[in-house]
Chains A and B, each alone.
Chain A
Amino acid sequence: MKRIFITISLLLSLGFLLTGQSTDPLVSNCVMNAGSDAKYLKDFRIQLGKATGQSELRYKTNMSLWKNTKYRFTMCSTEDSKGKLILNIKDDANKVILSSYDKNTGKTYPFVDFVCNKSGIYQLNYDFTEGQQGSGVGVVSMVK
């Protein structure tokens, strides 16, 4: 009886391990909070330690953005993050076309809507305010 119980427990555990799916609540909440007019496109999960004197945003990724599309970039941070997740986007000429963080006022925007009129590959750069440690997710959606 004991062997049967152990075997069943092991099989159940194995079943959970093999599922291969974990819907992170931070990600799913951030997706849901992007707005009723937003349709999910992509997300980027960011986890960074405290920066050591760097001025550039540390998490970099590329994404194609197409004209005649309005994108929403939503930033969500975990509660225990020391800084807030911020984003800037550069075009292929390395020019910053948008930033969710205003260096002059220290204001961070939880989302940025981008009306794209020039198709191309853009570089998305994420970090946490003042290079602090943090964990978060950046969700990209399409908006009507």
Chain B
Amino acid sequence: MMVRIFFLSLVIVISFSCRNRSTNSSEFVFPEADSIPLSEAEKLSPEAIEDIAKNISSPVEIANLLQMLEVPFSQEYLAASVDANKESTNFNKAMKLGILGADLGYLNMYEKTGSSLDLLSSIRKLAEDIRVGQFFDFETIKRLSQNKSNLDSLLFLSIDSYEQIDSYLRTNDRGHLSALMIIGVWIEGQYLATQVVSKYPDKILRDRIGEQKIILNDLLLLIAPYCNNSQEFTSLCNDLYELKNRYRDIRISYTQGEPVASEKEGGLVITQTETSVVEMTEEQLNGLIEITSEIRNRLILNN
């Protein structure tokens, strides 16, 4: 009897011991539930939330990918219609801070830093409005942008400013604004990628879009505790759940392999032979392009 109870307990513990994300050995799948139970999202510790916030890839990576694919720079992808002086709610300000942060990353990576001054002013205004302006070293970033001489310093300061803002918001009971900023960055990066893939249907870019499924659940975990805060939050949550639905049938599978190591110039080079494979139809991709554009443009226009 005791042996049966022991094995039953073991089965129960193993079943519930995994975190929300579930990855079997060969495929990434969303957890079973269609929506994140609020109680589960609220249980996340500050450390878990910080981990999730850091997981979300930087827009600089998308821009880096586009450069690698030799996609020409285009101003038309940027959120030029955002007027920082007209944003009225903290929701809109934090969201736009994220969106414009992604645009700044794009401009910096393409070294179009001379065009970034208006954007920097908008970012400064938005940051000051939500009382995190002290973390954005506007004058130094502006000077580096104008000099065009030190891209690394510019990237470092820009990214570091955003990370300080995010950390400050989370540790000062303003996690809802941090979540909005992070989602804004991600949405704008996703918009950039989906708009470019419409014109330059590169497989690497398609795969990167498909692979965003991996972190989409984390985005939902970040925002779930706030979905009932206001109509704006509810609308955003609904948008993200709809996006999750569009990703549901996109498959990501994995092949196994051992890494290959070599030494070069005093360092180590590791080449991964494991791969991730994205299976996504043209129709599924078009669905993502469409919904991303809808969500992003609605957020830009505050609708």
Contact = CB atoms under 8 A, between A and B. Distances in A.
Given A20-B164, A64-B57, A118-B276, A40 B155 contact: yes
B41 interface: no
Contacts of A40: 152, 155-156, 159
Given A110-B266, A113-B267, A92 B23 contact: yes
A23 B208 CA distance: 33
Interface residues of A, number: 44
Nearest to B69: A68
Given A41-B60, A62-B51, A67 B268 contact: no
A123 to B, nearest CB: 9
Given A21-B135, A61-B51, A98-B259, A112 B272 contact: no
Contacts of B211: 66-67, 119
A41 B268 contact: no
B134 A41 contact: no
B152 A32 contact: yes
Contacts of B4: none
A121 B156 contact: no
B14 interface: no
Given A63-B54, A142-B64, A118 B134 contact: no
B214 A121 contact: yes
Contacts, number: 136
Contacts of A115: 269-272
B254 interface: yes
B204 A68 contact: yes
Given A20-B135, A67-B207, A93-B25, A100 B64 contact: no
Interface string B234-271: 00000000000000000010100001010110111111
Interface string B85-128: 00000000000000000000000010000000000000000000
Given A21-B137, A117-B274, A119-B208, 4 more contacts: A40-B152, A113-B267, A117-B273, A119-B207
Interface of A: 18-21, 23, 28, 31-32, 34, 38-43, 61-64, 66-69, 91-93, 97-98, 100, 109-121, 142, 144
